């Protein structure tokens, strides 16, 4: 998921109207004057902060469109870790000798699912490729500042580090941050269902115990909201 931050936003409510206009050589002057009058009226309604956006829209309508990527001042990317082996909890239902479990053992009988960093080599390649793609697309933004947050799970931390390294390599950024921002709340932020003290954790534990009342109470409160 990509979230872009622009210096100014185009007028969404007038975009459909804007795209319906066509300014040919003979009508360009008349079209420009009409649009200027509309722009002036809109400026009074939207205020000074929207004047830059008004100018961009007017230029776009008259054939002098500016690449919207030029105004991107920040980008937030939300992504999942790379491909992984199964988690240990997912295999607990099978005995230690069951083929469903042993297929994830190495020749030396090491379990590939034994730790929380159970990412595969394919997953590592995915994260590197993702970073290089983002670095090529947002090189200008990457040159200003790079920071990232992550779940404390090993596969997530390594995914973030590989992605940032790929961004830096593609965007020619020196010394990218290879460690996530530490705010003391990473577990509660990214794994609230498994973090002690969170309402989410209490609800999940209640459901595991068969306490449907906890779920029903939450559902009722949401219906009444």
pLDDT for residue 9: 45
List, for residues 26-76, the tens digit of each pLDDT value.
Answer: 555 666 666 667 666 655 555 555 555 555 665 555 555 555 556 787 888
Element (H, E) at 202: helix 199-208
How far apart CA 114 and CA 109 sit, in angstroms, is: 11
Q: Which contiguous run of DSSP H or E holds residue 167?
A: helix 154-171
pTM attached to this predicted model: 0.59
Residue 22 pLDDT: 44
Give, in order, the Cα–Cα distances in Å from 164 to each of 1, 10, 64, 161: 16, 31, 36, 5
% of the chain at pLDDT higher than 90? 22
Dihedral sign, Cα of residue 39, residue 44, residue 48, residue 50: negative
Query: What confidence tens digit (pLDDT) does each residue in 72-112 have?
Result: 878 889 999 999 999 888 888 888 888 988 998 988 888 88
Q: Note the helical H segments in 20-102.
A: 28-46, 51-61, 88-91, 99-102
Say whether 174 sits in a helix, a strand or coil.
Answer: coil
Return the half-sphere exposure (C-beta side, CA atoms, 13 A cut-off) of residue 86: 14
Dihedral sign for Cα 152, 153, 156, 158, please.
positive
CA separation for the pair 112, 120 (Å, rounded) = 9
For 5, the enclosing helix (H) or strand (E) is strand 2-6
Question: Is residue 11's pLDDT more than 90?
Answer: no
Q: Which of 119-133, 143-157, 165-179, 188-202 has the lowest mean pLDDT?
A: 188-202
Residue 191 has pLDDT above 70, yes or no: yes
Cα–Cα distance between 57 and 39 in angstroms, integer? 9
Helix (H) or strand (E) run with residue 75 in it: strand 72-77
Q: What is the mean pLDDT of the chain?
A: 76
């Amino acid at each position: 998921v990509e979230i872009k931050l622009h210096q100014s936003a185009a007028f969404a409510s007038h975009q459909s109207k804007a795209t319906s206009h066509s300014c040919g050589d003979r009508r360009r002057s008349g079209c420009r004057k009409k649009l200027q009058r509309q722009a002036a009226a809109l400026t009074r309604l939207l205020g000074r902060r929207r004047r830059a956006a008004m100018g961009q829209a007017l230029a776009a309508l008259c054939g002098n469109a500016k690449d919207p990527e030029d105004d991107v001042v920040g980008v937030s990317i939300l992504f999942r870790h790379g491909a992984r082996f199964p988690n240990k909890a997912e295999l607990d239902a099978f005995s230690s000798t069951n083929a469903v479990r042993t297929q994830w053992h190495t020749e030396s009988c090491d379990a590939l699912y034994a730790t929380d960093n159970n990412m595969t080599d394919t997953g590592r390649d995915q994260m590197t490729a993702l970073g290089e793609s983002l670095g090529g697309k947002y090189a200008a933004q990457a040159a200003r500042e790079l920071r990232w947050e992550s779940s404390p799970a090993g596969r997530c931390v390594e995914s973030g580090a590989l992605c940032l390294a790929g961004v830096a390599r593609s965007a020619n950024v020196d010394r990218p941050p290879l460690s996530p921002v530490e705010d003391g709340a990473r577990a509660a932020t990214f794994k609230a269902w498994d973090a002690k003290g969170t309402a989410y954790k209490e609800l999940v534990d209640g459901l595991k115990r068969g306490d449907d009342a906890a779920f029903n109470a939450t559902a009722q409160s949401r219906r009444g909201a």
